Chain A
Amino acid sequence: MTENTQSDRAATPVATEDHDRQPFDFARWWDRVGILAVLLILVVLMIIIAPNFASIDNILNIARSISVTAILAAGMTFVILTAGIDLSVGSIVAVSGVASVLVALNGVPAPFAILLGVLAGAAAGAINGFFVAYMSLAAFIVTLATMIFHRGLAYTMTGGVPVVDNALNFRDFGNGYVLGIPVPVIVMVVVYVVGWFVLERTRYGRHVYAVGGNPEAARLAGVNVKGVLLSVYVIAGACSGLAGVIFSARVVSAQPTAGTGYELTAIAAVVLGGTSLMGGRGRIIGTLIGSVILGVLTTGLILMNVPFFTQLLIQGIVIILAVSIDSLKQRPLRLRRSVRRRGDVGGQPITTS
């Protein structure tokens, strides 16, 4: 750099950053590949232990079995990127599933019944978003309340019992195939492609990251923070609605208990995929990988005839392990960076970065 002495001085701190480039790129590489490596190891293990694991049928089965929670997790990624949380997605699955089945059984054509389910989910999400964005309530509490409310609503709508009718007009939405691929899997892939595009390639996506990274800075940079907050809950709600319709179609009925506990699976998938609960950092592709890991694990354990109780034990351990690896790999780097920045060698604990 041929500059005068003034800028040489300013360049000094930048020069030290060059040393950081190598390890930092390593961390980015890990960010992309780390969780994928976990998945690959898991798959190899499964192939060894369960011989028919690698069959096309089994793979499509796994894909179909994860589709509902994976779609929930896609919406959840948007919410968590803004440092929020949505506990109500499981209950929204039930409400929108029930709603779509009830209207379909009353003669509404399949496409409209499906659309209505999605819109019902979006509307439920808008309620969450309104309280989080415009009433500034904690997302945890708002969605805990709506989780309870919507479960109650689903029971109320069905009178507490499942509504089963084999003549359900959109049953193929859960059970059909296109070119040999299950419809829910196609829907899931579309959701992730769209989600990826929106987050990575659109202005709106950058605003989502900005709001999660630093809401006040986002506001002063001209981002419509409240609008973004509202929208991510609508997106999560719409995804839940879609998942609810698929679920109902799969089981050819309206189940008021549908989706119970799914919110936790979805959150687990997002976190497994490397998205920070503090917001602003993470990738939707990671969420998909996280969902697949959970699905592979469940299916694999079933193939191995592991009892259900033991399956839960193993799932819990895997989640903790994967998240620990994720934070371990980041820690030395973050430490090094802040040591240099603060010049703090004797070291109080590093607070926020």
Chain B
Amino acid sequence: MTTNPQPLLKVDGVTKRYGATLALNSVHFDLYAGEIHALMGENGAGKSTLMKILAGNEHRDAGRILLDGQEIEIRSPQEARAHGIAIIHQELNTVPTMTVAENLALGREPKGQFGVLDRRAMTRAAREKLQRIGSQIDPRRPLGDLTVGLQQMVEIARAISEEARILVLDEPTAALSRGEAVSLYRILNEMRSAGVGLIYISHRMEEVWDLADRVTVLRDGTYVDTKQKSDIRPPDVVRMMVGRSVDDLYHHEQRTPGEVVLDVRDLSGAEVGPASLQVRGGEVVCLAGLIGSGRTELARLIFGADKSESGEVLINGAAANSASPRAGIAAGIAMVPESRKEQALFLEHTVEDNIAISSLDRHSRLGVLDRPGIRQSVKKGMERLRLRLNAAQLPVSALSGGNQQKAALARWLMRESEVLILDEPTRGVDIGAKSEIYQLINELASRGKAILVVSSDLPEAIGISDRILVMRAGRVVAEMAADSATEEDVMFHATGTAATDNEGSR
């Protein structure tokens, strides 16, 4: 791979600024034909920004991009495509109501006589494109009927049909089943052999280790290093990504857990369970597992966001009626959902309104609001989370992702809930806010709250929690103490490797 002296793509000192934030600071990156180059880093490290620049969605402020040694400009997605750069986004860019063939032909539909769409030619072309990646998907099916994995195959087929020389994959396995992921790996390996340069963005270390030839790490918008995979081991990459000792980041303190506060017994819903778990006061328990393993679904059942089919939830030994979020909240459970913009926040409303919404019953008499009291409580919550107080009357949409997440958390600080369920609390959050959120979790646990965290970020899961519960296929399959757990242990159980071949050879 590196025998070829000329890189296919070279990113040289690229800088990108958003207002006062330096998203990319003179970043270097090169890609050879026929290699898979993993790009790693925490959320907010600048991976996505770099990808947006390569995709033509953003323009760099400084630096150069060279293709085959020639400096190029990428001003739009069309130009990126013309240069042979194809991007498979985290969120798919397809039209679910149209058929596979229509999606593959999107923007370049074959026209027959009189400009009438030639459906037959379109289907034939689609079948050929799919066969190139060894896929047997029927091109006449509506895309939305396919699983996410198959939809992704369609996207890859499209990229290949456009003769892409560079394929960028942003967290491609995030929503895939194990089997789908395996067939994706096969296709990627074939593309590598065919001389395509692949940039692979992923948080999953074992995946990167399976696939990549080289690894480049970014941290807080700066370039850290590029290594041949053969020269390093996963912990080296983690250290490069975090840039400091992990313990410092997670603020984990020793605590003695108290009584069981949250007791979930054989809870089951449409896609999960039956699952049982307990969280003690002063304890942080993390639900780990792959996407789709039922962690979010279980969290939502406990809170009452979705209806459970059987089982029960007890808070301090008393049955909590988890029939609705309202009932959950009344029983002392709080949940910060997975996606803050869609599920947690009222974007156009003020930060104050966003924080106060769940505590209005405590700050009103006969339904009439005690506005000074509300203002006072909101202020306290904001201070604890280091949110600037003059932001209280701003619409929450004006805050950064990290501060929005803090506002979502502040809502439950104000409520003083006994049990806190945090679903991916640090997703899309910059590292500064992340550290503060960890500190808050730690502080709340020290004050006796029972905390259940859903996290896909394994170092985070191990770093902040006392215990880890691993879920697979809707059930809790393993439990381990966080201080002795390793990422590999968790991954073994999450993927089912441990259960099937039971080697434990680590």
- List A residues at the B interface (Cβ < 8 Å): 1, 3, 6-18, 20-21, 24, 201-204, 206-207, 209-210, 213-214, 216-224, 280-281, 337, 340-341, 343-346, 348, 353
Contact = CB atoms under 8 A, between A and B. Distances in A.
A214 B346 contact: yes
Interface in B378-415: 386-388, 390-391, 394, 397-400, 402-403, 411
B412 to A, nearest CB: 10
Given A13-B21, A14-B403, A201-B368, A209 B387 contact: no
B18 interface: yes
Contacts of B436: 6-7, 10
A222 B342 contact: no
Given A213-B348, A220-B343, A343 B398 contact: no
B347 A214 contact: yes
B20 A345 contact: no
Contacts of A202: 364, 367-369
A204 B367 contact: yes
B388 A11 contact: yes
A345 B325 contact: no
Contact of B397 (A14, A341, A344): A341
Given A11-B386, A221-B344, A345-B59, 7 more contacts: A1-B388, A7-B386, A206-B357, A217-B343, A217-B345, A218-B346, A337-B398
Interface string B301-338: 00101000000000000000000111011100001010
Contact of A220 (B23, B325, B387): B325
B361 interface: yes
A17 B342 contact: no
B472 to A, nearest CB: 26
B115 interface: no
A50 to B, nearest CB: 40
Contacts of A341: 397-398, 400
18 contacts: A10-B402, A11-B388, A13-B403, A15-B20, A17-B394, A20-B394, A21-B390, A201-B369, A203-B361, A203-B364, A206-B357, A209-B353, A217-B342, A218-B357, A341-B397, A344-B58, A346-B59, A346-B76
Contacts of B386: 3, 7, 10-11
Determine which residue in A9, A209, A220 has the highest number of CB atoms from chain B within 10 A of its CB, and name it: A220
Contacts of B357: 206, 210, 218, 221-223
A23 B244 CA distance: 40
Contact of B353 (A6, A7, A206): A206
Contacts of A6: 432, 435-436
A163 B398 CA distance: 58
Contacts of A24: 394, 398
Interface residues of B, number: 60
A280 B394 CA distance: 15
B375 interface: no
A220 B399 contact: no
A222 B343 contact: no
Contacts of A222: 325-326, 328-330, 357-358
A14 B399 contact: yes
Interface in B271-300: none
A68 B105 CA distance: 57
Given A6-B436, A203-B367, A343-B18, A337 B325 contact: no
Nearest to A220: B325
A14 B344 contact: no
B12 interface: no
A222 B360 CA distance: 10
Given A10-B432, A202-B369, A213-B348, A17 B399 contact: yes
Contacts of A18: 390
A21 B329 CA distance: 34
A353 B388 contact: no
Nearest to B20: A16
Contacts of B347: 213-214, 353
B360 A203 contact: yes
Contact of B305 (A213, A218, A220, A340): A220
Contacts of B16: 343
A343 B386 CA distance: 24
Contact of B20 (A12, A21, A203, A214): A12
Contacts of B328: 222
B349 A17 contact: no
Contacts of B489: none
B262 interface: no
Interface in B419-433: 430-433
A283 B169 CA distance: 46
A216 B402 contact: no
B107 interface: no
A209 B20 CA distance: 33
Chain A CB within 10 Å, residue with most, of B49, B325, B329, B345: B325
B179 interface: no
Contacts of B337: 220
A343 B46 CA distance: 13
A158 to B, nearest CB: 39
A217 B430 contact: no
Given A7-B386, A220-B343, A17 B432 contact: no
Contacts of B325: 219-222
A6 to B, nearest CB: 5
Contacts of B400: 13-14, 341
B347, B367, B394, B398 pick with most chain A CB within 10 angstroms? B398
A10 B403 contact: yes
Nearest to B402: A10
Contacts of B372: none
Contacts of A213: 346-349
Contacts of B369: 201-203, 206
A180 to B, nearest CB: 33
B19 interface: yes
A201 B75 CA distance: 51
B346 A14 contact: no
B59 A224 contact: no
